[in-house]
Structure 1
Amino acid sequence: MNIVRRSDRLRINFYCKYCYYTILTKHVSDYPPVFQSKDVENGWYDVWEKNKYFTVKPSDKETLKMLLPPPNITGTLHLGHALTVTIQDILARWYRMKGHPVVWIPGLDHAGIATQLIIEKHLSKTKGIVKSDIEKEQFLSYIWEWKDQKENEIKSQLKALGASVDWSKEYFTMSKNYNDTVVEAFVTLNEKKLLYRKKNLVNWSPILQSTISDIEVDYMYIDKKTEVAVPGYKKKITFGEIAYIAYPLKDSKDKIIVATTRPETVFGDVAIAVHPDDERYGKYIGQNVWHTMRNTYIPVIADPSVDRNFGTGAVKITPAHDHLDYIIATNHQLDVIDVIDKCGNITEAGNLYEGLPRFIAREKVLNELSNRGLLQSVCDHNVSIPRCSRSRDIIEYILKEQWFVKSKSMAQKAIEAVEQNHLNIVPSIHKQTWYDWLNNIRDWCISRQLWWGHSIPAYYVTVGDKAEWIIARTESDARLIAESTYGCNLELHKDQDVLDTWFSSAIIPFAVLGWPKKTEDFKNYYPLTLMETGYDILFFWVSRMVMLGLELTGRLPFNEILLHGMLCDSHGKKMSKSIGNVISPENIINGATLDEVSIQMEENHNMGILEKKELRRMLVANKKMFPNGVPQCGVDALRVTLCSHNIKNLKIHFDVMECQANKFFCNKIWQAGRFILFMTNGREYQEPKSMSIIDRWILSQLSLMVSTVNNAIMQRDFHQAITSIREFLHYTFCDYYLEAVKHGFQSNNSEIITSHTYGTRTCFEVSLRIIAPIMPYLADDLYKRLSDKFTEFLSVPSLMEAPYPTSEEFSKWADYRLHKRFDAVLMIVSEIRSLTGGIKGIQKPMVHIVISNPDNFNFYNEVINLIKGGCRLHNICVFQKHNYMHDENSTCFQFTPDCTFVFISQDSAVLNTIKERSIKRVSNDESNLKLQDEM
């Protein structure tokens, strides 16, 4: 057998490296050696806008119609927004490249409560102004200034993220045109008899002095005595307790013990209720008990809605502050007594307690009951505390006259749309929650007591002691109606409330297209194709868009709902300012030192955006998470990371270090382009008459990748697309194929060089078009650089003009039998690398692959360059077993019955290292086989 001497190997290695680096020094002036995201991203968005790629282009193909869920003007975009933008932008770019017209509409939401609250904090913090000290118009002027500033910041962020939205269709939910549409929607619902005004229980925030929607209520669950900070109170308030209070029966020594978690509301008790089948209390039903705090008797009633397992089974009925109590009181025609006012203080019903804050009154009531001998005990208890998500105040349920939308019939239509498959919810796991929520929907309170928002188009006149309400598009219309009904001598008053933000946002899909007018946009682009957003607002926004869309336009607002999960940190915790794990997209894109991040947090605090405790928490968290600052990753790496996990899962884990790894992936692609340019620039590109087996294999792998990516994006499984791209580009193409073709390019075989030129450039050109929707900056920049050098690359300003690769185009290269044969080769490479890894330089051993099967012998010799390149070893040979003679300075490893590795080295330490690894590998394999047998 022929064994190359060590001295000869050194000369060969040196000559190969010299030739290789000589080639690499060509044509480097206009191709930076390292991927720099800032340089790559610079200027490309201007190119896209200048060429009007974002506007809809006419085509016979079906149009993709989307709108970007409008960010609130409360602040700048966070990573959750970046996820939504990335998902939609991938779809928009993919569909455009496939020849479909795309309409993608951007906008901003005025976010009534959130914006008003943050402006109040901002004015207090920066100007020392309290809202009550200024006029409404002046306050609103501050909000419009804030809106203009945030609009510019948000648009800059969207552009930085690469959002290819049609800016010509941009909207704001408080613009004049949009306000007209909101008024029309309100009036139309009234004409359809779906609006009414009624005094009912609402979610009330004493701090905001307004009703709030269900979505703005968070529930804090505690199971024992706990001190909780409540806005407006100097001391923390005790929750997680239940009080047992005695109510003496009239003309009896007996008492009924009632359990309550709200002792401060005793002044509104109008009855004691028990279950009609509860044997403990049957004899008391119809009797009266003495209410010591009200100095009166109240009845004992029976109602089947009473939970016999709660407390003692007997409950006090306080209808003005509890939904179930209100229903019971209505059914039994009981009085309703307001106990807590809009400021969260005790009303005159509390006698001596009038004006006391509700939770101060709680403590005093318990003390008084204890002094009177009626407080039996106070124990730990499970409670859910409703809190305002904006102000963190404790929500109070109070009776207030408000406007409501009848929701039952609209909800039923929304249910049927999904049941009948007219509306597709992806993932389908959310269908059951859709049904559950809509089947149990309550009428929708749409009044808000704010300054910032859409004024309700309702007016009233006083007739006797009653207010008669008129709904009209304008005040002049309302006056005409009022005068024709009640005469000319009247005073017309405007409703001072504004509409719930969710009402105005629920009409976005048709409002932004010109409804109620039959505009060309409305005719052409309604309904939308897709609504993509987070699953957490499925009920409060998406369902309401569906309900109002069906009711006001007669059609679904969109055909598909794509819901992504909640963005969490690497530990699975929801990203939240209160936890301190929020990361700014800009910091990930551009990088930031720890000091810079801290300064940003402090600026937000100084502007009134961050509370002091949130600031402290985030400063501490940032020191733990980013002791060396946030690494610069770039836009493309951020986009890849956001979609690398299954967006359909309930939680999406985000790790900055994963983002940094994806930056290295971008650099890997960059280096591949650089290598191909150096190796093939100036060479003729043509499909070879005789293609090498390695090139046939890589083109087959390319065909598989193209098919997988297209199918994955069509199914909205972006993580599968990215996995396929990474496996092909990072591992198959760069780590194996390019390492293999180095040897071919350094040979004098013109057929091999032609074949490799065709293989490398075809794969890379197609791959850049494949990644363009996901990594648009990198793809466009690389493609432009290489299109100037390679004639087969398209001469286009951007890949947004290029066709997206399809599986049909590359099916001729698909060879799944070849895949299997190469899988075996890659296993050989992996095994050799594991056995020789860490052995450096001249100490690396020679490797002989000894084969029993003649077919495999011939095949492995054909792909020997792939094995050498993959193993990072030049001295690898393949031998047939029948004529192979072992060298005395060697050690063997039986890989398969057909394949043995022989490692040859003059260095006994190298052989001992490989031998130890071989023994360990065999031992592990035997353990795994034993474990499989046991299972």
Structure 2
Amino acid sequence: MDLGTRYMPDQIEKKWYEKWLEKGYFQPKGVGKPFVIVIPPPNVTGTIHMGHALNITLQDILVRFRRMQGYDTLWVPGEDHAGIATQNAVERYLESQGKSRQQLGKEEFLKVVWDWVKKYRAYIKEQIKTLGASVDWSRERFTLDEGLSRAVRKVFVELYKKGLIYRGKYMVNWCPRCKTVLSDEEVEHEERKSKLYFIKYPFVDGTGEIVVATTRPETMLGDTAVAVNPKDERYSKFVGKKVLLPLMNREIPIIADEYVDPEFGTGAVKVTPAHDPNDFEIAQRHNLPLVDIFDDDAVVNENGGKYKGLDRYKAREAVVKDLQELGYLLKVEEIDNAIGHCYRCESVVEPRIMDQWFVRMKPLAVKAIEAVENGSIRFIPEKWKKVYLHWMYNIKDWCISRQLWWGHQIPVWYCESCGEVIVSEEDVDQCPKCGSKSIKQDPDVLDTWFSSALWPFSTLGWPEETEDLKKYYPTSVLVTGFDIIFFWVARMIMMGYEFMNEKPFSDVYIHQLIRDKYGRKMSKSLGNGIDPIEMSAKYGTDPVRFTLAILAAQGSDIKLDERYFDTYRKFANKIWNATRFAIMNLDGYEEEELTSLGLVDRWILSRLMKTVEIVTNALENYEFNVAAKQIYDFFWDEFCDWYIEAVKPRLNGIERRKVQNVLVKVLDTSLRLLHPFMPFLSEELWHALPVSGESIMIAPWPEYEPNSVDEEAEQAFARVMNIVKGIRNVKAELNIPAKEAVDIFVVGEKLSEEEQFYICKLAMVNKIEWVDAKPSKCATAYVDERCQIFVDIKNLDLQSEIKRLEKNIAKLQEDLEWNLKKLSDDNFLKNAPESVVEECKQKVENIKQRLKVLGELLEGLK
């Protein structure tokens, strides 16, 4: 197979992906130990971002690695219907068309959503293909497909029968924009500048007043008490008295409750049970009435008196104005306050008391806690184990009903004739109690995460006893981000034990968050996002994948700069050129046993085996960056820069065939190691080699061969490399052209003929002479316990070189002092981006190292 002169990703990627699909390589073979991953399903709301690309790349690395190891690999793809997110996206689309959900009506709106879903599922699928993901498309699932819908209904009904699902009136988070309830995990809290209002509440008997502090004065319209701490001596005499609620002229009691913090504000707080979760708890303890003052749009209702019809912020302005005019407002202070926002539309969430459906979580959490505590399920990195357990120990009931049109409609029906509540897996059209056909289904839908929680077993066919379910459950590993540990990971574990009586996966690998090069979170508002599909088109998919892998250090966020993609495109080109060089020199190649090898051959094969060992162990332990860096260092530095350069002369001599076999061995093994990271490039190049097999994708993973490890050869050639580097450094610092041959002097032990050959070839040495002591007019290149090596510089103008080196040293010393001054400046350390500080520290280390080298060189010249 002929290779072009350049790496052209657009000419190989689509070709190989279609070939892999055609051959069915992505499907499990039914032989070997199962290795199973279910993809975290992307939302059908748009495009794949760089976080998805990282997630998909890491999963594909694992799947390709295990497939080559002989595992029966299955990677199940799919997409999530994403209730709130998708409904919001479609509503925004309709708004751009001058339409609204309400104008269309539910039936027509859902038709529009299904058209949207069809379009974006196809789009997401193409993006996943672009990234080279070897998922089994024949098993693609969707959280609203027929099978998963059946699973969702069965789970709901069974949990209801067990008393683990119930309906009740409780405090919930309400998004006025999305018009739906949110779970606690869907509310994001953000510190913002706010105001604390101090308001006088007069005693009914006219003997004085008590001052309360609040950040939300508009909610006082729904106050039903004032609370103080029972241990607060300032207020103990007032407990039991009544105050007149300003603006509403309603009498409310002063009560004592341990919840009140005497240090906050005045130590007295207003109690608004219908609009604050903590106040709701106080009301439960003290039998206080609940006064709901807002409607679904967060507009004041009839319970708000004259403020009816005002939205919550207009109501705040009006209430504060009236309090001030009537003399009830004592003062206002500026404070920082954590305010809850909807995770989708960023509207401020309104706490409300509503009838909703809930799941009792504590009984479900027992086995899920035990599994992680006893190690049945591992979190990698381990720090996430504590995060998971902390949430699970303090778990609250999960509000699962959402006031949306898009999603799994709750499988509950109400008889309008007799009031019977029917919970059923099948649609109900007649009341089983009274026979009436006046039946109405609950209009709410289930939280998106309810169906996602079943993903590891519902995608394999549950509730049917499918062969896939028997063979591939539990799955092997989940690769996901830390932000959905509570939303998704924990709930999958609970549902797995509840319905399969088995864990859903053994390992949970939590990958990094991708930030921009300054360490900022990527966002639309900052305009600092990087599109992975654009990067694939520009640099090639393999360089994008390799970049993400080599940056994926456990426990550290990834600071991504587009320049990195170009760096690893250059690496891909290096691999291409090295393979092309080998192929151009394979005329007359015949496979033969690798025996009686020379020093550099034994060295490269030993280094190759250690690379196999390191890469294999790293992938076993989810150390993607370690594996990628080892491949990079071995291929570019050791194989290309040293081995290939060292053996070029031997390709024209009697050892040609021996070198050819080593080249093929190293390339074959290296490309197999590289395949999980760079699947397209490795496949293309592997087929150009004289190796047998249908595809590198199903070729065996390289085995570690201990007999090929040669410590003696490694030590000997490492010494040769250090000598060569020393000579090259002297030439560079003294402005001697790299290709100009020099003479060297050796004091000490004799070098072998092979060592001499490679030193002369790689360092451009003309002559090696053994002497008893360091000659005059020479520079030190290398020193160890066995010998000293000096470069002859008698042809140089030493005084000019001394002056030049002294000038360079002085300049470096200035740079060093400048950077050290920056690092001692507290303002710089506090305000500069972390990446800039790190860059400065690295610069200091580099300058120090360079000063050391130049100092030693200068000393040798004097």
TM-score, normalising length: structure 2: 0.91
> Residue deviations 1:752-811, cap 9 Å, x none?
x3332232221111101111111110000001122xxx2xx12x231012101021xx21
Match of 1:678 among 584, 602, 609: 584
Do the aligned partners of residues 869 and 129 (structure 1) sit closer, same or farther apart at CA in structure 2, a change above 3 Å counting? Answer: farther
Q: CA deviation at 1:686?
A: 2.2
Give the equivalent residue in structure 1 for 2:825: none
Return the letter of the residue paired with 2:2: D
Mapped to 1, the partners of 2:774 and 2:453 lie a distance apart of: 80
Residue 49 of structure 1 aligns with which residue?
21
SS of the residue corresponding to residue 506 of structure 2 reads strand
- Hey, what does 2:815 align to over in structure 1? none
Give 2:449's aligned residue: 502
> Which residue among 421, 435, 439 is the counterpart of 1:492?
439
What SS does structure 2 have at the residue aligned with 1:320?
A: coil
Q: Hey, what's the Cα distance between the residues in 2 that align with 1:823 and 1:574?
A: 43
Query: How has the CA–CA distance of structure 1 residues 702 and 509 changed in structure 2, closer, same or farther, with 3 Å as cutoff?
Result: same
Distance, in Å, in 1 between the alignment partners of 2:316 and 2:92 is: 29
Cα distance change of structure 1 residues 650 and 842 upon mapping to structure 2, 3 Å threshold:
closer
Distance 1:39 1:489 in 2: 66
Name the residue aligned to 1:134: 104
1:475 aligns to what SS in structure 2? coil
Between the aligned partners of 2:286 and 2:701, the Cα distance in structure 1 is 68
Q: Which of 757, 760, 765 pairs up with 1:875? A: 765
Match of 2:133 in 1: 163
Is 1:34 aligned with 2:12? Answer: no
Q: Is the 8 A contact 2:727 2:791 kept in 1?
A: no
Deviates more, 1:260-269 or 1:912-921: 912-921
**Aligned letter for 2:219?**
T
Aligned with 1:811 (options 700, 703, 706): 706
SS of alignment partner, residue 550 of structure 2: coil
Partner of 1:182: 152
**Aligned equivalents of 1:869, 1:407: Cα separation in 2:** 71
RMSD across aligned positions (CA)? 2.4
One-letter code aligned to 1:858: L
Give the Cα separation in 2 of the matches to 1:842 and 1:922.
23
* Preserved contact between residue 727 and residue 781 of structure 2 (Cα < 8 Å): no
- The corresponding residue for 1:424 is 378
Partner of 1:621: none
Rounded to whole Å, the distance in 2 between the matches of 1:732 and 1:672 is 12
Q: Distance in 1 between matches of 2:474 and 2:278?
A: 40
How far apart in 2 are the matches of 1:150 and 1:913?
Answer: 68
Q: Which of 737, 754, 767 is the matching residue for 1:862?
A: 754
Are the equivalent residues in 1 in contact too, given 2:727–2:782 (CA < 8 A)?
Answer: no
Question: Percent of aligned pairs with the same residue?
Answer: 38
Query: Residue 170 of structure 2 contacts residue 356 of structure 2 at CA under 8 Å; is this kept in 1?
Result: yes
Asked if structure 2 preserves the Cα contact closer than 8 Å seen for 1:710 and 1:806, the reply is no
Residue 82 (structure 1) aligned with residue 82 (structure 2): no
Query: Following TM superposition, by how much is the alpha carbon of 1:928 offset from its aligned partner in structure 2, in angstroms?
Result: 11
Q: Which residue of 2 aligns with 1:348?
A: 302
Instruction: Give the direction of change, closer, same or farther, for the CA distance of 1:184–1:910 in structure 2 (3 Å limit).
Output: farther
Structure-2 residue corresponding to 1:296: 250
SS in 1 for 2:551: coil
Q: Residues 659-674 of structure 1: matches in 2 within 5 Å?
A: 659-674=565-580
1:371 aligned to which of 325, 334, 345: 325
**Aligned counterpart for 1:64 among listed residues 22, 35, 52:** 35
Specify the alignment match of 1:104 in structure 2: 75
| Distance change in 2, residues 1:279/1:905 (3 Å) | same
Distance 1:744 1:437 in 2: 64
Is structure 2 residue 545 aligned with structure 1 residue 639?
Answer: yes
Alignment of 1:273-672 (within 5 A): 273-462=227-416, 467-476=419-428, 479=430, 482-484=431-433, 487-489=434-436, 491-590=438-537, 632-672=538-578
Q: Give the drift of 1:124.
A: 1.6
Post-superposition CA distance 1:666-719 (Å, at most 9, x none): 001111111111223323342354211011111110010000000000001010
- Identify the residue that residue 231 of structure 1 maps to in structure 2: none
Moved more, 422-431 or 706-715: 422-431
* 1:584 Cα deviation from its structure 2 partner: 1.2
User: Unpaired segments of 5 or more residues in structure 2?
Assistant: 810-847, 857-862
Secondary structure at the aligned position of 1:174 is classed as coil
Question: Which of 799, 802, 822 is matched with 2:696 structurally?
Answer: 799
Would the aligned equivalents of 1:904 and 1:911 in 2 still touch at CA under 8 Å?
A: no
User: Does the C-alpha gap of structure 1 residues 919 and 246 become closer, same or farther in structure 2, counting only changes over 3 Å?
Assistant: closer
CA shift, 1:514, in A, is 1.4
- Taking the aligned partners of 1:335 and 1:147, their CA distance within structure 2 comes to 45
Among 924, 929, 935, the alignment partner of 2:851 is 924
Distance 1:868 1:800 in 2: 41
Deviation at 1:824, TM superposition (A): 3.1
SS of 2:46's equivalent? coil
- Contact 2:226–2:252, Cα closer than 8 Å, also in 1: yes
TM-score, normalized by length of structure 1?
Answer: 0.84
Q: Deviations over 1:698-746 (max 9, x none)?
A: 1110010000000000001010001110110010111111111123324
Contact in 1 for aligned 2:759/2:765 (Cα 8 Å):
no
CA contact 2:746–2:790 (8 Å) conserved in 1: no
- The residue type equivalent to 1:547 in the other structure is M
Q: SS where residue 286 of structure 1 aligns?
A: coil
1:6-45 correspondence to structure 2 within 5 Å: 30-45=2-17
CA contact (8 A) 2:48 2:127 kept: yes
- Alpha-carbon contact 1:567-1:653 (below 8 Å) kept: yes
- Structure 1 residues 470, 814: closer, same or farther in 2, change over 3 A? same
1:650 shift after superposition: 4.6
SS at match of 1:300: strand
What is the distance in 2 between the residues matched to 1:47 and 1:926?
A: 54
Change (3 A) 1:647 1:139: farther
1:84 maps to a residue whose letter is N
Distance in 2 between residues matched to 1:784 and 1:894, nearest whole Å: 43
SS in 2 for 1:379: strand
SS in 1 for 2:119: helix
What SS does the aligned partner of 1:381 have? strand
- Counterpart position of 1:783: 686
Q: Secondary structure at the match of 1:43?
A: helix
Letter in 2 for 1:419: E
Q: Give the number of equivalent residue pairs.
A: 817
Provide closer, same or farther for how the CA distance between residues 128 and 880 of structure 1 changes in structure 2, counting only shifts above 3 A. same
Secondary structure at the aligned position of 1:863 is classed as helix
The AA in structure 2 aligned to 1:773 is P
User: Would the alpha carbon gap of residues 502 and 681 (structure 1) be closer, same or farther in structure 2, given more than 3 Å must change?
Assistant: same
The 3-state SS of whatever aligns with 1:403 is: strand
From 781, 785, 789, the counterpart of 1:900? 789
Distance in 1, matches of 2:437 and 2:11, equals 69
Tell me, in whole angstroms, the C-alpha distance in 1 between the residues paired with 2:30 and 2:351: 53
Q: Is the 8 A contact 2:180 2:402 kept in 1?
A: yes
Name structure 1 gaps, 5 residues minimum: 1-28, 225-239, 591-631, 930-935
Please give the alpha-carbon distance, in whole angstroms, between the structure 1 residues aligned to 2:485 and 2:319: 42
Change beyond 3 A, Cα 1:845–1:489: closer
Seen in structure 2, the aligned counterparts of structure 1 residues 843 and 43 have a Cα distance that, compared at 3 Å, is closer
Whether the 8 Å contact between 1:425 and 1:560 is mirrored in structure 2 is: yes
Partners of 2:806 and 2:505 lie apart in 1 by 59
Moved more, 737-746 or 557-566: 737-746
What is the distance in 2 between the residues matched to 1:302 and 1:573? 46
Question: Measured at CA, do residues 289 and 83 of structure 1 come closer, stay the same or move farther in structure 2, by a change above 3 Å?
Answer: same
Aligned to 1:732: 638
- Shifted more, 896-905 versus 255-264: the winner is 896-905
Which residue is equivalent to 1:114?
Answer: 85
Q: CA deviation at 1:840?
A: 7.9
- Displacement, 1:522? 1.1
Paired AA for residue 458 in structure 1: V
